[in-house]
Structure 1
Amino acid sequence: MNYKQLDRALRQLEPMEEYYRETGGNLEYQMRNRAKRRGAFYQMDYEPKYKNDLFSFQAHPYIYISRHIRYVPVFNHKHDWVELCYMYSGSCEQTINDSVHLTLKEGQMLIIDTDAYHSIGNTGENDILINMLLKKEFFTEIFFSHFSEQSVLLRFLLNAISEKANHDNYILFPSEDSTRIGLFMRELMIEFLAPRSPSSVDVVDNLINLIFLELAQVYQSEAMRSGLQVPENKVFSILRYIQANYRSCTLTSTAEFFGMNPNYLSTLLKKSTNYTFKELVQGHRFAYVTTMLQNTQVPVDEVIFRAGYENTTYFYKKFKEKYGCSPKQYRIENS
């Protein structure tokens, strides 16, 4: 699919949109405490009765992408994922927590925090809004390691995945002049519209990383123009240290490296990322193990040793809890 074909697909009215246009956007909502959309992570106060099926194929287990249904407003709702909105064409009105009223313009992006109530005003035929819903599991320490310690966007994301944090609600990015955002978003949508391939998840991961890196640059440039000061955040230095030393580092050695009390460092990580030190280290080790299992024939015990595990019994127990199978079974099913 090329960009012209993508544009035609995005602008084409679906039967449900023609129905809403003819009926004046009267949409029935079903009240539900929990609802699921095609097996994805889905929790809203209200769920539309009809669905947008343009992106029927979902290329990533932790990301759901959809084109907003035109000619109908979306009533106030919230959910437990991070939402990223991209205004492909036209504009739309958004309200967050009943107090903040925004106009999202063509080329701009809006990131909405978990558990923030928000609604969308009525849209016309030229108002094409793309919504991406990102599950908390997507935001691993590997994702965070790509960013600068001074990034406000990263602090926002760390806050969003923390259950105990005071959520920041939203960030509006004036990205209309960024050619990269448009390019990365078009490539991302094409990946979701194309048939699944073995590289789909990796392609999506890298495109999302590029989008967030560009958004961080957009925000930083806007902050500099506005004269805002962006404070440091030591958490990212710790995350990078863990990423570089996950095979051998301990809570005590990491705390000593940063001149911190181990209990304080442990509490800081849990509060900032919603993961314990052990979970962060294990996340890196599992990422290494699964990559090796999928792409090499190195014996399982050797892979476990290289990942930094000395207690293989503990490893096998945790691996089975996370993946529901043994490493050998995982290799057979995923290689």
Structure 2
Amino acid sequence: MKQSILDLLKEPTLIEQEQKNSDIFHDDIPTSAINTGLSATRHIPVLNNYFFRNKDIYISKHNRYAPYPTHTHTFLEMNYMLSGKADEIINGKKVHLKAGDLVLLDVGSQHSIGYLGDNDILINLLFRDQNISINLLNDLRRSKSILYEFLINRVTNKDGDPQNNYLIFHKQAENSEVRVTLDTIIEEYFSNREFSDSIIKSYLSILLTQLVRNYTIQTKQASSSQQLMIKILRDIIQNYQTITLDKIARKYNYNKNYLSNIFKQEVGKTFSEALTQERMIQAHTLITSTTLPITDIIEKVGISNKNFFYDKYKKQYHIMPSAARKQASK
């Protein structure tokens, strides 16, 4: 990052000077930025779209020298620890951030931020693009494989607890492509140059995709049945065109019905549903990255019923194959 931008971020603002002198939090959020109706219901401040009056993305340095009280918001927020460290309480859970760490908070996340000292520079990126959300990250993960989705569900919350609406990306400062993109976004914003909003919006989509590509899954110790499911999911990925439950049962010497029940219990979907999902993933890749006729792709991924394919594809991607190909070619 340019030294001039770093120097600017380290320079105390007027609010920071007041907080440093008094050791008391000074609220710099105007009343017009608070959704009074929701705040009254939740008993904590709910920040609205005030920050996006003339832009899609709002970036700021978090004020140092006083803890920031619990609040929530109607937009998405990213906290990037540029230097130093910070403690946050997110949905009641303590999160410790070190230099290079980044946390992505979905709409409705409740969080507070502890005291920041001289060298603790925390950058807030707020954005409201409806096409960019936690769901985008989950969709990107699902596009990798059903195995990836299974592992992610074990790490986060298998039952989809709405309180688990944030993601932590550790040590992004050690990842050169992510660091470069973050630095570019921050520099572009604080340089206040022409067309910066459009440029930052494009870089934000790149950043989110890079984060998913470099996201490391720290899985819990798998049980014996989960280890078996991981093997079976890998088999589906490698042999999705021809694999069947009968073949899997014979391979691992299990009763077919028993294995089917264990699969549904551990993976959260039937074997048939998982196989169809993987075939849709493979078909989607071919549809959006090649010019192969869609009828050939249907056969190539192991599906014989065209109506079945179109129904399942629309259900998984919310778009018809021909429209997806046209969209990808733009």
TM-score normalized with structure 1 length? 0.60
2:277 alignment counterpart: 283
CA distance in 2, matches of 1:91, 1:323: 40
Superposed CA offset, 1:116-165 (max 9, x none):
85432365785224579632434327267579xxxxxx856534252267
CA distance in 2, matches of 1:236, 1:18: 55
Residue 209 of structure 2 corresponds to residue 208 of structure 1: no
1:160 alignment counterpart: 156
Secondary structure of 1:205's match?
helix
1:223 alignment counterpart: none
Q: CA deviation at 1:311?
A: 0.7
- Cα pair 1:10 1:128 within 8 Å, conserved: no
Secondary structure of 1:246's match?
coil
Residue 264 of structure 2 corresponds to residue 262 of structure 1: no
Quickly say closer, same or farther: Cα 1:159–1:204, change in 2 above 3 A: closer
Residue 303 of structure 2 corresponds to residue 309 of structure 1: yes
Quickly say closer, same or farther: Cα 1:195–1:97, change in 2 above 3 A: closer
Superposed CA offset, 1:30-56 (max 9, x none):
26779xxxxxxxxxx853134379994
Residue 9 of structure 2 corresponds to residue 4 of structure 1: no
1:30 alignment counterpart: 35
- Cα pair 1:87 1:108 within 8 Å, conserved: yes
Q: Is there any run of 5+ residues in structure 2 with no aligned partner, and where?
A: 19-24, 127-132, 189-198
Residue 46 of structure 2 corresponds to residue 47 of structure 1: yes
CA distance in 2, matches of 1:268, 1:165: 17
2:68 alignment counterpart: 73
Superposed CA offset, 1:162-181 (max 9, x none):
22679889998874xx8634
85-94 vs 100-109, which moves further: 100-109
CA distance in 1, matches of 2:110, 2:276: 34
- Cα pair 2:146 2:278 within 8 Å, conserved: no
Q: Is there any run of 5+ residues in structure 1 with no aligned partner, and where?
A: 35-44, 58-65, 148-153, 221-228
Larger proportion of helix: 2
2:99 alignment counterpart: 106
Q: How does 1:68-147 map to 2 (within 5 A)?
A: 70-71=62-63, 73=68, 75-77=70-72, 86-98=80-92, 100-108=93-101, 118-121=111-114, 127-129=121-123, 134-135=134-135, 136-140=138-142, 142=144, 145=147
CA distance in 1, matches of 2:266, 2:312: 24
The residue identity in structure 2 corresponding to 1:70 is H
Secondary structure of 2:156's match?
helix
The residue identity in structure 1 corresponding to 2:154 is L
Secondary structure of 1:139's match?
helix
Q: CA deviation at 1:303?
A: 0.9
Quickly say closer, same or farther: Cα 1:130–1:332, change in 2 above 3 A: same
TM-score normalized with structure 2 length? 0.61
Superposed CA offset, 1:192-223 (max 9, x none):
674777x996885355322x23x75xxx9xxx
- Cα pair 1:32 1:46 within 8 Å, conserved: no
1:237 alignment counterpart: 231
Quickly say closer, same or farther: Cα 1:161–1:209, change in 2 above 3 A: farther
Superposed CA offset, 1:44-103 (max 9, x none):
x8531343799947xxxxxxxx75662383525599x9x9854222332212454x5454
Q: CA deviation at 1:268?
A: 1.1
Quickly say closer, same or farther: Cα 1:286–1:189, change in 2 above 3 A: farther
Q: Which has the larger radius of gyration?
A: 2
- Cα pair 1:92 1:121 within 8 Å, conserved: yes
* Equivalent residues, number: 282
Cα RMSD (Å):
5.1
The residue identity in structure 2 corresponding to 1:47 is V
Superposed CA offset, 1:290-320 (max 9, x none):
2222232211100111111111111122233
Q: CA deviation at 1:242?
A: 2.0
Quickly say closer, same or farther: Cα 1:320–1:33, change in 2 above 3 A: farther
Quickly say closer, same or farther: Cα 1:190–1:54, change in 2 above 3 A: farther
The residue identity in structure 2 corresponding to 1:88 is L
The residue identity in structure 2 corresponding to 1:75 is T
